[in-house]
């Protein structure tokens, strides 16, 4: 229609479009994630939001930059020449190598085997770690989307876990202006809360 424009994210002349969501405000970004390269005794506490729990991913995935910074040994899978993975932006990425390290959140530790995501473009890589289904399974995760939290730990099968931990994330809520997506609520940085 001529002369008619529509913007579902605008109301009463005030623009309510996302203002550039901070990485730690994204759903299920983990605050106190720690990676240890046991071979070289290197330890790194990841920046807020660099690690993300993703129940929609079948695998662990670490960025090449993070793997290199930790001096993780890049290993090839015997007999496999890699496979293609489609990323959220629609691009295809070939995964050919993996790394092994210790990973901990809220006192819950696991040995992780993760694919290394090749550098997407020179100068464009970031520190990131995607924790897929195998991770969530290993820590017996229970995800509560409405309350923006994950309970982790399996003290019965893994006595080192001692007790289950609840990790709370930045709050998201329905927008009063549209029903297309959730929007960040009051900033509530991830924090560990004992059940």
Task: Render pLDDT for 45-87 as a digit per residue (tens, 0 to 9).
Answer: 888 778 888 888 888 899 999 999 999 999 998 888 878 888 7
Two tokens at 161?
């876990």
Each residue's pLDDT tens digit, 117-132: 988 777 778 888 989 8
What is the arithmetic mean of pLDDT over 177-194?
63
Strand pairing partners for 8?
Answer: none
Q: Residue 98: what pLDDT?
A: 94
Q: Residue 91: what pLDDT?
A: 77
Looking up tokens 């001692």 gives 162
| Cα 75 from Cα 86, distance rounded (Å) | 21
Question: pLDDT above 90 covers what percent of the chain?
Answer: 30
Q: Vertex 120, ends 119 and 126: CA angle to 5°?
A: 65
Question: pLDDT above 70 covers what percent of the chain?
Answer: 79
pTM: 0.73
CATH superfamily of 22-193: Acid Proteases (2.40.70.10)
The residue ranges of every structural domain in the chain are: 22-193
Q: Residue 23: what pLDDT?
A: 53
Two tokens at 54?
């993703």
């Amino acid at each position: 229609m001529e002369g008619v424009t529509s913007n579902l994210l605008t109301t009463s002349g005030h623009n309510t479009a996302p203002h550039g969501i901070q990485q730690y405000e994204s759903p299920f970004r983990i605050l106190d994630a720690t990676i240890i390269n046991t071979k070289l005794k290197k330890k790194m506490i990841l920046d807020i939001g660099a690690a993300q729990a993703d129940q929609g991913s079948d695998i662990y995935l670490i960025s090449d930059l993070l793997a290199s910074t930790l001096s993780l040994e890049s290993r090839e899978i015997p007999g496999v020449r890699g496979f293609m993975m489609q990323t959220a932006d629609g691009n295809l990425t070939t995964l050919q190598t993996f790394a092994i390290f210790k990973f901990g959140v809220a006192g819950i530790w696991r040995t992780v085997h993760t694919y290394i995501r090749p550098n997407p473009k020179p100068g464009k890589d970031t520190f990131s770690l995607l924790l897929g289904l195998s991770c969530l399974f290993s820590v017996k995760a229970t995800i509560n989307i409405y309350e923006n939290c994950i309970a982790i730990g399996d003290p019965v099968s893994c006595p080192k876990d001692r007790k289950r931990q609840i990790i709370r994330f930045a709050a998201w809520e329905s927008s009063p202006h549209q029903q297309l997506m959730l929007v960040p609520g009051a900033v509530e940085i991830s924090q560990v809360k004992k059940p």
